[in-house]
Amino acid sequence: MQIRELSIPDAYEMTPKQHADDRGIFLEWYRFDKLEQTVGHALDLRQANLSVSRQGVVRGIHFASVPRGQAKYVTAVHGAVLDYTIDLRIGSPTYGKWDSVLLDDVDRRSVYLSEGLGHAFVALTADAVVTYLVSDTFNPEREHGISPLDLDINLVFPADLESLSLSPKDIEAPSLQNSAAAALLPTWDECRSFYDSLRTKD
C-alpha cells in the first residue's frame, strides 16, 4: 500500500496493491497497522457507512465538533467520485483550502481524514457506491455542514457534469465565514491537542 499525505495536513491518500488473475482481483483496502504508522494512532472504528449516489450528486461539506470529532476512511467500491478534503481548522496553515482525490473501482484508492477536517464528494458515475469507516457514531447535535457552493472555499467540480444535485440540508448549510462567526469550527490547536491525546492513549 502506497500512502501519500495530501496538501491538507493530517489527510492521506492510500493506493493499494492489486493482485489480479483470471478469477478477478484481490486487494487490502484498509490496514490498521499501516494507518497507525502514518498518523501515529489507531483508528478507533465505531461506525461504518455506505452511500449510493447518482451522477452529479454532491454530499457535504460535513464535519463533527472536536473533541471527539469524526475521522473518516473513505473509498468507492463501485463507480467513481471526486473526493474533497477541506481544512476547517481555524489557525491551520491551510485553513479554508482543499485537496481532492479520485476514488474509483479502477485504482481503488482510499482517503483518510483526521478529526476537524471537512469532507465532501461529487459522484462522477451512476450508482457510485462510497463506504466510510468512521471513528465515532452519528450524533446530530455535533454534526455540522458548510455549503459546498461557498465561494470562499471554491470547490471546483468537473466541468463535464451536466448538473449538480444537493440535499436541501447541504444547500441551506452556512458559509465558512458564518460558521466561523458562530463558533462552529474547530481550531488548529484543539485538533492538534486531540491528535496528541489519541497518540498518548495508544
Which three-class secondary structure state does DSSP give residue 2?
strand
Cα 177 to Cα 181: distance, rounded to the nearest angstrom: 6
Q: What is the pLDDT of residue 202?
A: 59
pLDDT digits 0-9 by tens, 164-201: 999 999 999 999 999 999 999 999 999 999 999 998 87
The grid coordinates listed for 105 are: 473501482
Q: What is the pLDDT of residue 200?
A: 83
Catalytic residue among 12, 84, 112, 132: 132
Every domain of the chain and the residues it spans: 2-201
Residue 71: phi and psi, rounded to 5, are -70, 150
Cα 142 to Cα 4: distance, rounded to the nearest angstrom: 29
Q: How many CA atoms lie within 13 A of 174 on its CB side?
A: 12
pLDDT, one tens digit for every residue, the chain (202 residues): 999 999 999 999 999 999 999 999 999 999 999 999 999 999 999 999 999 999 999 999 999 999 999 999 999 999 999 999 999 999 999 999 999 999 999 999 999 999 999 999 999 999 999 999 999 999 999 999 999 999 999 999 999 999 999 999 999 999 999 999 999 999 999 999 999 999 887 5
Across the chain, mean pLDDT equals: 96
Cα 95 to Cα 88: distance, rounded to the nearest angstrom: 6
Kindly give, in sequence order, each residue whose CB lies less than 8 Å from that of residue 86, ignoring residues fewer than 6 positions away.
Answer: 8, 61, 96, 97, 98, 117, 118, 119, 120, 146, 153, 155
Quick check: is 62 catalytic?
Answer: yes
H or E, element range at 48: strand 47-53
The grid coordinates listed for 176 are: 465558512
Quick check: is 132 catalytic?
Answer: yes
Q: Is the dihedral of CA 103, 171, 91, 35 positive or negative?
A: negative
| pTM for this prediction | 0.95
CATH class of 2-201: mainly beta
Cα 200 to Cα 198: distance, rounded to the nearest angstrom: 5
DSSP state of 174: P
Catalytic residue among 12, 41, 62, 112: 62
